[in-house]
Amino acid sequence: MRNIESTHPEPRTSVLLVCTGNICRSPTAEVVFRALVTRAGLARAIGVDSAATHDYQVGEPADARAVAHARRRGYQIPLRRARQVTAEDFRRFEWVLAMDRFNLAELEALRPRNYRGHLGLFLDFAADLDRREVPDPYHGTGEDFERVIDLAEKGAAALLEVVSARLARSPG
């Protein structure tokens, strides 16, 4: 019998993207970032997931509008169910990134004292953007979902630069 751990090693680092309900912004940012990670050949080195700060939509699939707009742009949001951030996430993820300041404040309240990873805003890495928050498209139009994808692409590219540079400097 083969040892599964040896064929699927743990990633060297991991990123958790977080919004309020985990049905629009964070799943979109997750698939955009995952696509860039895969294209860069780093899928085994960088783990990616998303979650919610609130339990409003736990167990629900991604918003159909987010799925449709992502698909039109070449991204596939997988069949998944929304989940809420847990204390375990602060042990599993080196990078915990919120879509906006509201969710960052929620995460700061949940963060264990011994968390040594990076907790911040997803768009903080995209210095060329004039904003730091990804707006919630839930009550908006298709244009709002497109804007989320635009911001996710810019944020994900900037984040990948930082994460991959850190990986290049670290042993392993």
Q: Which residues are catalytic?
A: 19, 25, 136
Cα–Cα distance for residue pair 70/146, rounded to 1 Å: 8
SS3 content of the chain, % helix, strand, coil (to 5): 45, 15, 40
Q: CB–CB of 126/153 below 8 Å?
A: no
In three-state secondary structure terms, 132 is coil
How many other CB atoms sit within 10 Å of the CB of residue 147?
A: 16
Cα–Cα distance for residue pair 86/1, rounded to 1 Å: 33
Cα–Cα distance for residue pair 91/142, rounded to 1 Å: 36
